[in-house]
Structure 1
Amino acid sequence: MLEFKNIKKTYHVGGIETKALDDISVAFREKEFVAILGTSGSGKTTCLNIIGGLDHYDSGELTIKGKKTSDFSDQDWDAYRNNSIGFVFQNYNLISHLSIIANVELGMTLSGVSSEEKHRRALEVLEQVGLKDHLHKKPNQLSGGQMQRVAIARALANDPEILLCDEPTGALDTTTSVQIMDLIKRVAKDRLVIMVTHNPEIAEKYSDRIIRFQDGKIISDSHPHQERPKPDSFILKKTSMNFLAALKLSFNNLRTKKGRTFLTALASSIGIIGIAVILSLSTGFQQQIDTFQSDAMSEFPIIISQTAMELNAENISSMQDRIKDKMMGTEEYADSKEVYLYDSAETTIAHKNIITDEYLEYLNNIDPEISNSIGYTRIVQMNMLREIDNTVTPVSISNIMTSMGQGMNLSNMSSMANIASMDEIGLSSYPERLREDEESYLVKNYDLLAGDYPTDPTEIVLVVDSKNRIDYNKLKALGFETENVTSIEFSNIIGTEFKIVSNNDYYIKTDMGNYVPGQDYEAMYDSENSIPVKIVGVVRQKQDVRIGILGTGIAHSDALSQMIIDDASNSEIVKAQQQSDKNVMSMEDMDEETKNNFLSYLGGNAAPFMVMIYPNDFESKDAVIDYLEAYNEGKDIEYQVFYNDLAGRMTELTGGIMDAITLVLIAFAAISLVVSLIMIGIITYTSVLERTKEIGVLRALGARKKDITRVFDAETFILGVFSGVLGVVIAWLATFPINTLLFNWTGLIGVANLQIQYAVALVVISTILTVLGGHIPARMASQKDAVEALRSE
């Protein structure tokens, strides 16, 4: 039962206004056809507003099935309109961009009825009102009477308890009016029908009860309701519109405005196009740089040196993080107008890597999948002799390491090793492989021009440059005739033999207590302690290898150096040098570093001066770095071993530059995204104005305020996705002419390359920004008064 008592205020029904109603007491029975008839001073039909909510009163009360409306929330009113009220409007109020079956289904959508059930019930009521053959037409394809039948079908679809009809025949001709009233009379058998009309003939012919109003007062009631006690049950099912339904509704609306939708999406996508093109070029150029660096620096080793270095205690942590803060621009900067003074000596630590047997074993246990070659550089002197024309003469392998060991300062060695590919200062010891089933460093990086690759530690090779050249002094030092000679046949070099003499045979102790090289070369050469070595091949760096560590001249394995050190470690001159702070040859005073270097030169120090770890490829370098970092974890700073990753530093630097350029360009392109956001807000507001009546219809059918917001959020969501996809597609298409132009200008192939992850991210960004831009107008739409919205044209 629906009952009004002592209502005093202005009310509306179906958008029709009435003045204050004094001392009204009206109750309606179930299954009753009531006609409310009469005029106020303004000549307008009077009744009460169910659409906007019957809680707008100053005194009195409205009771629905035993529950006072003063206790209703907004959601209770929404649910009541959806569950219990069916509206038939004078002007039909159908949503023009939906088919008639979709219009009928709309109220059930808000009730959460399943798709199958919703469609079945819509077909049923449309057949009931005689529109079975017009299911997929739009409202503008129907006559007035047909549109009113659709409105009645929509009102009946949710099986309401009350059918509220506002001038249902006001816009119809006489014949159609009779048809519609006959239809309404039939449906009145199952429910209460309240019809507002100012046509007395219709009221008298069809209604069971007529209530007349005049000047805001009830003047007659043909069949007053006599209330009798009965149990009232107030149960409401909350209404809601899921996002999928809102998407469908908004999509149908946008589909009716294809041209405007496309232009809006195109304008919104300009920023996305700009950013997508920038990212395409940035990614492509970075890939070109990475490819070049990978090719050019894949052979760059990670170098670990004994060289002493100065570390700033404040920066040790960033050094252990591979200097990433400085390279990536995340270093902290002071915000001050003062210059702060500090003593750098207080924060500086002199650090020297201690390469122990434990550390060397740790390195040798590295995973061969990430590094299969480790090179060791030692400064041990080789006491070499060669027999030429039956005469034994001393010869030497000229290289920078042995020169350093004789007394040169080694503090700059690590930086010099970084450019070890230069022919004159290249190393003479090549890396050893960690797995027998892998190619050796020499085979992988150097072509064999003549002879064989070495297979034994006592086999050595001659390294020439790309033009098969070598400094004549290096061959002269090896005993080859270079006077008035411009070239030497490979066959005259391969097979040349030398002997490396032990320290005990090579050095003799003088009466003054110092040691000097002996002169009896024949005896030294014939000694059983000598190590015979032979040149077995001539090699040259391969054309596709960018970096080679071997200098021109003799190259040998580290195993040969180990053999010499093992023999020399127990020699008399080494023992004497270990016990003396003077150079046992020149008798000059030496500091600790010079003494250690000289001991290494004599073969008395087994620790390598430098270790070079070669990643298997550029991608494996980070894994090697992580392995080296793992050794330092938990150790005091003095026992940690630092390394030099020149290739990594160069890569981070170039990568940081490209990232900075990309960010700056994106920042400029993002300005258009802000403009797009504002434009979407304006477009959405325009859509709200255009769809004001639709908002009123949705509210009359029980849509909540949040459902109205969701409808317009769904519309901006569709626009955002469409503009994002459109922008990405246009940007992708633009990469083809861009790549053609870049190829013609620079010779680079396929620079512009839009990555799928960037494309997806840009679509997401476009969607989010568009929804944000349209959300405020969407909220404005949800606050519109339903009655006022229905009045709009």
Structure 2
Amino acid sequence: MLVLKNIKKEYKVADTKFLALKGINLDFRENEFVSILGPSGSGKTTLLNIIGGLDHYSEGQLIINGRETSEFKEKDWNVYRNHRIGFIFQSYNLIPHQSVISNVELALTIAGLSKEERTKKAKEALDKVGLSDQYYKKPNQLSGGQSQRVAIARALVNDPEILLADEPTGALDTKTSVQIMDLIKEVAKDRLVIMVTHNPDLAEKYSTRIINLLDGNVLDDSNPLTNKEKESLYNKKPSNKKEQAKMTWWTTFKLSIQNLLNKRNRSILTSIASSIGIIGISLVLSLSFGVQSFITKTQEDMLSGNPITITKSALDLESMMSGMTIGEKVEVFKEIGYVGVEKVVEMIAKRSQQSSSMFIENDITEEYINYVLDMPKEDYAAIYLDREIDITNNLYFDFYENDTEFENISVSALKTIYTSILKENEATSSYANLISNFTNILAEAPNNSSYILEQYDILEGKVAESKNEIMLVLNSDGLISDLTLAQLGYYNQKQFINMILKALDDPKYDSSIVDIEKFSYEELMNKKFVWYPNDIVFKENNLPNKEFNPFYYNAYSRDFETNDQGIELKVVGILEPKEHINYGSLTSGFYYTNELTNHIIENSSESKIVKYFNEKGDNYIINSGKINGGGEIGITFKYSYNYLGEDRLNLTGFVGKTNQMADMIGAINPNIQSLYSLTKRDVGGEPLASKISIYPVNLKHKDKVTEYLDNWNNMDEDREKIVYSDNLSIVFAMIQNIINVITIALIGFTTLALVVSCVMIAIITYVSVVERVKEIGVIRSLGGSKKDVSNLFVAETVIIGLSAGIIAIGFTYLATFIINLIVVKSLGSNIAGFPAHYAIIMISISVLLTVISGLIPSRSAAKKDPVEALRTE
């Protein structure tokens, strides 16, 4: 049922108002063929659009199936156009990038029918209009008559109650017009057909009722309804059938994909251009992630070689870093006629106070050591308690001076001899005192064989475990320093001197002396060392100079009265870092066991030299050197050597360690003499460790280790805090912060490209809206909502954004591969990386940005007047 009561339609033209319909009163039967005639501007098409729900009246009542349309919401109008109305347009209004059957299916798609049902009905409708062989052609492949038949099939496919035809034959020749009119007349047998036409002959021939309009008024009606027909019509109850009119997202995407494929070259270029900003950010993230991964991997590698340490005296690097400032701004008040005083003294005092606070003294007690040892075992691989014993004073070996002669000498004594030999040569004299800093002769290994075997391969033998076992650790190239081997007696004096001469291209080099460039495993492992207790090595000095020389040192074991108290140490294994280990817990050198350390501590506690230290006090140090170039003080010994045929006899050697800083300064200024110092710790008199090294399992567990150590300070506020050193984290945190700043800066810069891309997407989407205005009108005429139209262009931006993102990610992976290919040889590791979740995030950002860019154009598309849209060419 369709009833129009006093329908008026007013348009605004510039500043004036134009009344297109001036009060139309019409009733329509459910089954009749009505032709509306009238000259141009009489209101024919306006009336048709109001009946079809494409346009809305200004005043009056439009009653559809007993329901007043003033109650209609947007959804109701969409359902009405989709299920009650079928439109046939003069210009066909087919969507060019869709096939014939897809054009016909569109109304069914909006109605929510399944794919199978849509295809069946669309084919039936096309068969009915004689196009059974044209299903998959595009509109541009059809004639005018065929195109109009497709339009009729589309109008009929949803079996509408009302068929509206606007000049259906206006663009056709006479013969085709007759065919189309015959088809429409056939359709009108079981429904209401309202046709607008300029041709009175067609109206007379085919229609059952002719209505003439003039200047917005009904001039004549050839077959108005009788009162009885009106009464029957008005008493009809409205339908309560639940219907929908909504485009699915799949249809929306399908239409957008087809449109983009129809303009594929432009679409490809748009996607590539849109991807530039994403490529820039992705490459920055790729490099940032790669560098961060490289740093993390390096940190993991360096973790074993850089444990968390707690020492008695330490530099609080964290406080130092937080206290550093680029510059302090001092507020200055200038006064004419006066000169201000810059407070340099105050600045120095404050700086000095700040610097002194960076040095801390930790009170490492037995309680604290036990607390550390009670740490959860799953968090650390090994804990090394360093008692800082100088084993070189007590370790002796057979030293072959000639092919047949040898003597037992201590490591300390031989180190002194070779240091003196280096001083003989002008080229090496400045660096002679640095010999001990270049090499790690002997040290205690972490007390965990499994941890060592995780990092090192055994080339020969086994890992040292007993107190009489030592092992040799090579570097990653399978080498050991010649200085280390020389100080342990693997080179005699002649060979050592000859090595120096050869390195300096000295003419005194003796080519007859064999240069030893490699040692067999057998040669290295057959070397025997003997550790002697303090009371054998250090003898009390009962002479008058006891105040300056409390003990004298036996540099040669041949002077010992008995050798049965010594412990013979044997090299039982040769180890090399595993291929993937760059920074192991052990540097190259010789290592003894914790078992030997415990034995030394136990044996040394009752030794005379330790008791001497106990009498003098815990902080007492025996310093060795010369008084104004005169007599020696401290603990000394006599040694001799021969340099190129010249004997150096009865020289004085000093026992103890030298200051590393003084050695470095001495390399610059030879006049500065090193001072030797010997402490209670050096001779094994301190059972408590002065340094604790904790080797975490990995970086994740390292955080748990530091958290555990922090708990010690938090448990008791009155307790003196213990500060640990985690230098690795501090350094890498600084690097990480720098990388983050650079990354943010680069992303900020590349974001400009994204902004340009967004503007471009908005422009291109707007162009697409302009190009598809007629399609918008068609979709609205078939029952599509404003939201459906908006979604159509949102889908297009999603597809472009998705394509741009995929292109960007593909290029990023390619660039990442090339970058890594270039740098991997020099760095030995990849420097760029782009994980899958980064790719997903960047694609999502690309889609999101393009959608945001297309929101304004898509909304403008949704606001298009469907009537105006259908008129667009």
2:760 matched residue in structure 1: 679
Question: Is 1:444 the counterpart of 2:479 in the alignment?
Answer: no
| Amino acid of the structure 1 residue aligned with 2:446 | P
1:70 matched residue in structure 2: 70
Q: 2:567 aligns with which of 511, 518, 532?
A: 532
Q: Counterpart of 2:864 in 1: which secondary structure?
A: coil
Q: Counterpart of 2:218 in 1: which secondary structure?
A: strand
Distance (whole Å) between structure 2 residues aligned to residue 749 and residue 576 of structure 1 = 55
Please list the CA deviations of residues 105-135 of structure 1 after superposition, one character each: whole Å capped at 9, or x if unmatched.
Answer: 1112222222222122111211122211110
1:25 matched residue in structure 2: 25
| Contact 1:470-1:552 within 8 A present in 2 as well | no
Distance (whole Å) between structure 2 residues aligned to residue 131 and residue 666 of structure 1 = 57
1:127 matched residue in structure 2: 127
Q: Counterpart of 1:164 in 2: which secondary structure?
A: strand
> CA 1:334 to 1:210, structure 2 compared with 1: closer, same or farther past 3 Å?
farther
Q: 2:260 aligns with which of 219, 241, 254?
A: 254
> CA 1:120 to 1:769, structure 2 compared with 1: closer, same or farther past 3 Å?
same
Q: 1:562 aligns with which of 590, 598, 605?
A: 598
Q: Counterpart of 1:82 in 2: which secondary structure?
A: helix
Q: Out of 661-670 and 257-266, give the one that drifted further.
A: 661-670
Question: Is 1:632 the counterpart of 2:699 in the alignment?
Answer: no
Shift of the alpha carbon at 1:194?
A: 1.6
Question: Is 1:776 the counterpart of 2:791 in the alignment?
Answer: no
Q: Counterpart of 2:49 in 1: which secondary structure?
A: coil
Shift of the alpha carbon at 1:604?
A: 5.2
> CA 1:525 to 1:287, structure 2 compared with 1: closer, same or farther past 3 Å?
farther
Structure 1 residues 332-731: aligned runs within 5 Å: 352-355=361-364, 360=369, 371-380=380-389, 384=394, 422-424=437-439, 428-433=443-448, 435=450, 439=452, 444=456, 454-460=464-470, 466=479, 468-470=481-483, 494-501=527-534, 530=565, 532-536=567-571, 555-569=591-605, 600=681, 603=684, 605-614=686-695, 620-633=698-711, 634-636=714-716, 638=719, 641-731=722-812
Please list the CA deviations of residues 397-451 of structure 1 after superposition, one character each: whole Å capped at 9, or x if unmatched.
Answer: 5899xxxxxxxxxxxxxxxxxx99953467622222164xx6559x937866xx9
Q: Give the fraction of aligned pairs with identical amino acids, expressed as a percent.
A: 40
1:230 matched residue in structure 2: 236
> CA 1:468 to 1:82, structure 2 compared with 1: closer, same or farther past 3 Å?
closer
Distance (whole Å) between structure 2 residues aligned to residue 334 and residue 233 of structure 1 = 83
Distance (whole Å) between structure 2 residues aligned to residue 631 and residue 399 of structure 1 = 42
| Contact 2:286-2:833 within 8 A present in 1 as well | yes
Shift of the alpha carbon at 1:140?
A: 1.2
| Amino acid of the structure 2 residue aligned with 1:252 | Q
Q: Out of 80-89 and 300-309, give the one that drifted further.
A: 300-309
Q: Out of 118-127 and 549-558, give the one that drifted further.
A: 549-558
Question: Is 1:83 the counterpart of 2:119 in the alignment?
Answer: no
Number of residue equivalences = 737
| Amino acid of the structure 2 residue aligned with 1:432 | N
2:512 matched residue in structure 1: none
Q: Counterpart of 2:123 in 1: which secondary structure?
A: helix
| Amino acid of the structure 2 residue aligned with 1:692 | V
| Contact 1:428-1:551 within 8 A present in 2 as well | no
Q: 2:312 aligns with which of 303, 307, 310?
A: 307
| Amino acid of the structure 2 residue aligned with 1:218 | V
| Amino acid of the structure 1 residue aligned with 2:132 | K
| Contact 2:87-2:165 within 8 A present in 1 as well | yes
Shift of the alpha carbon at 1:777?
A: 1.2
1:34 matched residue in structure 2: 34
Q: Out of 510-519 and 76-85, give the one that drifted further.
A: 510-519
Shift of the alpha carbon at 1:92?
A: 0.8
Shift of the alpha carbon at 1:515?
A: 12
Distance (whole Å) between structure 2 residues aligned to residue 743 and residue 548 of structure 1 = 22
| Contact 2:100-2:139 within 8 A present in 1 as well | yes
Distance (whole Å) between structure 2 residues aligned to residue 561 and residue 424 of structure 1 = 21
Q: Counterpart of 1:49 in 2: which secondary structure?
A: helix
> CA 1:78 to 1:506, structure 2 compared with 1: closer, same or farther past 3 Å?
farther
Distance (whole Å) between structure 1 residues aligned to residue 183 and residue 689 of structure 2 = 104
Q: Counterpart of 1:25 in 2: which secondary structure?
A: strand
| Amino acid of the structure 1 residue aligned with 2:63 | T
User: What is the TM-score when the length of structure 2 is the normalising length?
Assistant: 0.71
Shift of the alpha carbon at 1:481?
A: 8.4
> CA 1:335 to 1:514, structure 2 compared with 1: closer, same or farther past 3 Å?
closer
Shift of the alpha carbon at 1:20?
A: 3.6
Distance (whole Å) between structure 2 residues aligned to residue 124 and residue 421 of structure 1 = 98
* Root-mean-square deviation (Å): 5.1
1:591 matched residue in structure 2: none
Please list the CA deviations of residues 563-608 of structure 1 after superposition, one character each: whole Å capped at 9, or x if unmatched.
Answer: 2323455779878977985778989xxxxxxxxx966456554321
| Contact 2:449-2:463 within 8 A present in 1 as well | no
2:274 matched residue in structure 1: 268
Q: Counterpart of 2:250 in 1: which secondary structure?
A: helix
Shift of the alpha carbon at 1:762?
A: 3.3
| Amino acid of the structure 2 residue aligned with 1:233 | S
| Contact 2:472-2:591 within 8 A present in 1 as well | yes
Q: Counterpart of 1:770 in 2: which secondary structure?
A: helix
Distance (whole Å) between structure 2 residues aligned to residue 624 and residue 167 of structure 1 = 83
Structure 2 unaligned segments of length 5 or more: list them.
333-345, 400-405, 416-433, 498-514, 624-677
Distance (whole Å) between structure 1 residues aligned to residue 197 and residue 187 of structure 2 = 18
